[in-house]
């Protein structure tokens, strides 16, 4: 007997197949019984007719509970009313694993309870849809960079130098070498690799001991970071908008069912197209003040400012050249206005805020050393990074895309914690 995944039933019409999965719901009357089963690829309804199935199969059906794992044998029948277009006329049923008192009933549960049961909640239709969108997003990104001739370089997670800022580091003792930090970014290593390979990206988990409990922050999140030799800040922004447009279009094309399951309003996603609006930080401050914000030049945009600003556009907006004082040490000082650096954030629409942070990198040895010292960082641990400015320095730029924020926006979820299978937050380390 052929074991088939539910999504492939279409190519087995009228054949007898076996499906392995879990019970979603059951319903039965005296003569006929229905089992909705899921296997990760989809859901299908199996119909049991009392007069046609062996007595023990009929009895076994009566013992089924939510999330029992089962093996169902049956004949595949096309059915226009069925969600996947097919139904199963069951002939056999085996219980693989019983499931008593499954904690997540079809009724509403509170968020805390759901996250305590995240290992089970993952089976929920909505959660499955989110996982599939994330999978498509990541694959689309990898394909985008592969097609654009970027080389994937994996960067270390245990690092000796601070990548972004001292304020939110996870540190651990590292043998006789003192402290090691969990990577906040792969960027510095990406820059070294860009001098070897020209165009690279790294993609991996990054860590920040964020004390803030906002809907945009996790302590462990995945970041994709391209780095390109001879790109300036302008090229950098162009790459960002091309990448985001490409991925959103592909998700719209291939994740129709998932977005429908999530009841995502598709209009904001359909609006994503080149070019994205660009405003300088200075313009953004003026604009925001005009809209009632009390922001002052020199201060970082708060979450509310980002939301307000993004509301002025129908697609993601890029804010460029922030004040030097609120950005990382490695950003290149703007030669036309040394109070600012050549950088940009991309703000997603609909209140999702910053999904990308990027910049042209400081490529002058002395200026970089000065900035490392000015920020109280130890120049000794950046010796290798400074070397990149000693041996064939080069204009280069790159950015980091936070996968969870990107996925949360695409899925239209209020909080980013559902866009990763097992979120890590200040108060959450289990399961």
225 touching ligand 4AD, by CB under 6 A: yes
Residue 210 touches ligand 4AD, criterion: CB under 6 A: yes
Contact 219, 208 (CB under 8 A): yes
362 interacts with ligand 4AD by CB under 6 A: no
Contact 62, 28 (CB under 8 A): yes
Residue closer to ligand 4AD, measured from CB, 74 or 357: 357
423 binds ligand 4AD, rule: CB under 6 A: no
- Answer for the pair 62, 87: CB distance below 8 angstroms, yes or no: no
Name residue 27's beta-bridge partners: 34
CB of 144 or CB of 399, closer to ligand 4AD: 399
* Residue 185 binds ligand 4AD (CB under 6 A): yes
Could you list the beta-strand ranges (E) of 284-338: 317-320
If the CB atoms of residues 130 and 218 are measured against ligand 4AD, the closer one turns out to be 218
Q: What is the largest CA-CA distance in the chain?
A: 86
Q: What is the strand order of the sheet 220-229 is part of? A: 151-152, 199-207, 220-229, 396-402, 353-360, 343-348, 317-320, 278-280
Q: What CA–CA distance (Å, rounded) separates 219 from 119?
A: 19
Query: Which of 164, 241, 362, 418 is the binder for ligand 4AD (CB under 6 A)?
Result: 164
C-beta of 74 vs 398, nearer to ligand 4AD? 398
Q: Which x/- pattern, by CB under 5 A, does the window 345-374 give for Mg ion?
A: ------------x-----------------
Comparison of 39 and 418: residue with beta carbon closer to ligand 4AD? 418
Angle at 165 between CA 200 and CA 173, to 5 degrees: 90
Nearer to ligand 4AD, 191 or 258 (CB): 191
Stretch that binds ligand 4AD, among 133-141, 255-263, 379-387, 395-403 (CB under 6 A): 395-403
What are the helix and strand counts (H, E) for the chain? 13, 17
Q: Which residues bind ligand 4AD (CB under 6 A)?
A: 164, 185, 187, 208, 210, 217-218, 221, 223, 225, 354-359, 398-400, 402, 404-405
Q: Which residues bind Mg ion (CB under 5 A)?
A: 357
């Amino acid at each position: 007997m052929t074991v088939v995944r539910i999504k492939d039933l279409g190519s087995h019409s009228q054949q007898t197949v076996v499906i392995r999965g879990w019970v979603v719901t059951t319903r039965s009357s005296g003569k006929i019984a229905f089992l909705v089963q899921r296997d990760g690829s989809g859901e299908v309804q199996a119909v049991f007719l009392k007069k046609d199935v062996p007595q023990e199969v009929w009895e076994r059906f009566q013992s089924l509970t939510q999330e029992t794992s089962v093996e169902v044998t049956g004949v595949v029948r096309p059915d226009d009313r069925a969600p996947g277009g097919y139904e199963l006329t069951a002939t056999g049923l085996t219980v693989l694993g019983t499931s008593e008192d499954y904690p997540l009933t079809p009724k509403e549960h509170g968020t805390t309870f759901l996250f305590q049961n995240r290992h089970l909640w993952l089976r929920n239709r909505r959660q499955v849809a989110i996982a599939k969108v994330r999978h498509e997003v990541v694959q689309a990104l990898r394909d985008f960079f592969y097609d654009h001739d970027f080389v994937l370089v994996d960067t270390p997670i245990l690092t000796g130098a601070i990548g972004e800022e001292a304020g939110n580091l996870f540190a651990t003792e590292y043998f006789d070498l003192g402290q090691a930090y969990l990577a906040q970014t792969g960027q510095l290593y990406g820059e070294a690799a860009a001098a070897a390979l020209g165009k690279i990206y790294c993609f991996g988990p990054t860590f920040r001991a964020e004390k803030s409990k906002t809907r945009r922050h996790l302590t462990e999140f995945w970041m994709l970071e391209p780095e390109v030799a001879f790109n300036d800040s302008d090229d950098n922004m162009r790459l960002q908008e091309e990448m985001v447009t490409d991925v959103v279009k592909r998700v719209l094309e291939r994740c129709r069912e998932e977005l429908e399951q999530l009841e995502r309003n598709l209009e904001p996603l359909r609006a994503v197209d080149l070019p994205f609006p660009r405003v300088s930080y200075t313009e953004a401050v003026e604009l925001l003040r005009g809209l009632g914000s009390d922001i002052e030049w020199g201060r970082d945009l708060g979450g509310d400012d980002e939301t307000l600003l993004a509301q002025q556009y129908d697609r993601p907006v890029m804010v460029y050249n922030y004040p030097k004082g609120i950005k990382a040490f490695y950003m290149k000082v703007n030669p036309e206005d040394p109070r600012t650096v050549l950088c940009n954030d991309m703000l997603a629409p609909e209140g999702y805020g910053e999904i990308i942070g990027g910049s042209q990198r400081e490529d002058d040895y002395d200026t970089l050393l000065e900035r490392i010292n000015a920020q109280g960082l130890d120049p000794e641990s950046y010796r290798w990074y400074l070397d990149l400015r000693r041996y064939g320095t080069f204009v280069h730029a790159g950015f980091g895309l936070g996968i969870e924020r990107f996925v949360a926006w695409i899925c239209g979820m209020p909080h980013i914690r559902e866009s990763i299978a097992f979120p890590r937050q200040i108060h959450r380390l289990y399961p």
